[in-house]
Structures are given as structure tokens and as C-alpha cells.
Amino acid sequence: MIPLPPLAPPGVLTAEALACDVACFPTPDQYVDLVAAFRADGFEMCVDVCGVDYLDHFERFVPEGVVPTRFEVVVNLLSLSKKQRVRIRVQAGTESPRVDSLFHLYPGTEAPEREAFDLFGILFDGHPDLTRILMPEDWEGHPLRKDYGVGHVPIQFKEAPGPR
């Protein structure tokens, strides 16, 4: 268990509760300050930023005091000196998800944040170039959202023409 930075987020779940590393649940206001505190605490690298759409799984397990919203931004930080990981899950909102960008703390979050914007439509305030990255520029919608359908090619098993 790592000593948490002075700024206490409303909920902290430990490894036992989540079958994983420590996860913190800051509010959007506390989010950047918390990441900055972790960075000052020796977490040199931001490994990953990704979004999750909890539309169909709204009743997930979150600590008390945290209001779950549809979209969540998950940040994985890594400390090379302490050999530890920490995960930060921030509730990004339901209708128009929006959080602050971590770009000024970790420049390496540029591409992952663009990806989260592209695939989920989560806006990152302060990001230098929030454009689509994987999808074409004129694409409509954000494909990894749960209300975005999965395309498929119909396969016909019967009444298909026989070999002769």
C-alpha cells in the first residue's frame, strides 16, 4: 500500500477490493491536482489513458461518496523508482463528458487522449490538438460508445446456392 498524496480523494479502493492495484476516485475538480501530486510523489510515467462507457453496466462497484456517471476516464500511472502502479478513475460525466487534459503533466498522454476523444467523444480541456486519430476525419459518432451498433456481414446458411 502506497502512502497517498496529501490531497485525499473521496474514495480510495485498495488492492483487495478491486483485485488489482490501488485505484483512486477523484472528482473532476480534484483530478489534475491528484495526478500532479502523484507525479511529484515519484510516478514518472503515465502509462495509459483510456475511456470506458458504462451505459449498460451502470451499477458497478464504486466507493461510497462517488457519484457514478456514464463515462469514466481511467489513467494508469507507473513509478519506475518504486516499481508501483496506481490507477485513477475519474467520473467524466454523462451527457457531455469532459475532463481536464493531463498533457501539461505528461506529454505522452497526447495520443491516448486523442484516442479517447475519437472513440468515446470525451473532451479533454487543454489538449493541444484534440482531433480524431484512428477514425477518418468526417466520421460521425464515436464507435466505442455502447449505443453505437456493431456492424456485421450477414451470413446466409440456408437457401444459399449449392455447388451445382
Partner 1 sequence: MSDSTRVADRPERLTIETSEGAQELTTRRDTATDELGREVGAVLRLDGVTLDPRQVDYERHDDETMIINMGPAHPSTHGVLRLMLELDGEFVLRTKSVIGYLHTGMEKTGETLSYVQGGTNVTRMDYLSPVINELSYSMTVEKLLGIEVPERAVWIRMMMSELNRVSSHLVWMATNGMDLGSTSMMIYGLRERELILAFFEKTAGLRLNLNYVRPGGVAADLPDGWQDDIEVICNTIEERSYEYDQLLTGQPIFRNRLVGVAPITAEEALALGLTGPLLRSTGVPWDLRRSMPYLAYDQVDFDVIVGTYGDNFDRYAIRLNEIRESLRIVRQCVEKMPPGDYRSQDPKVTPPPRQRIGESMEALIHHFKLFTEGFHVPAGEVYSAVESPRGEIGCYMVSDGGPKPYRIHVRAPSFINLQAVPLLMRGGSMSDTITVISTVDPVMGEVDR
Contacts to partner 1 by CB under 8 A: 18-21, 44-48, 50, 52-53, 56-57, 60-61, 74, 76, 80, 83, 85, 87, 103-104, 106-112, 115, 119, 128-129, 131-138, 143-144, 150
Q: Between 48 and 164, name the residue whose CB sits nearer to partner 1.
A: 48
Residue 107: DSSP 8-state: G
Q: How far is the CB of 103 from partner 1 (least distance, A)?
A: 7
Residue 97: DSSP 8-state: -
Q: Between 52 and 123, name the residue whose CB sits nearer to partner 1.
A: 52
The residues facing 22 across adjacent strands are 86
Q: Between 63 and 143, name the residue whose CB sits nearer to partner 1.
A: 143
Q: Between 108 and 162, name the residue whose CB sits nearer to partner 1.
A: 108
Q: How far is the CB of 164 from partner 1 (least distance, A)?
A: 33
Q: How far is the CB of 121 from partner 1 (least distance, A)?
A: 14
Provide CB contacts within 8 A for 117, sequence distance 6+: 123, 124, 127, 130, 132, 133
* Single-letter code of the amino acid located at 57: H
Answer for the pair 74, 49: CB distance below 8 angstroms, yes or no: yes
Q: How far is the CB of 159 from partner 1 (least distance, A)?
A: 25
At 109, list the grid cell. Answer: 498522454
Q: Between 30 and 87, name the residue whose CB sits nearer to partner 1.
A: 87
Pick from 27, 49, 29, 63: which is nearest to 120 by CA? 49
Answer for the pair 22, 70: CB distance below 8 angstroms, yes or no: no
- Strand pairing class (98-100; 123-125): parallel
Residue 94's H or E segment, with its range, is none
Q: How far is the CB of 135 from partner 1 (least distance, A)?
A: 6
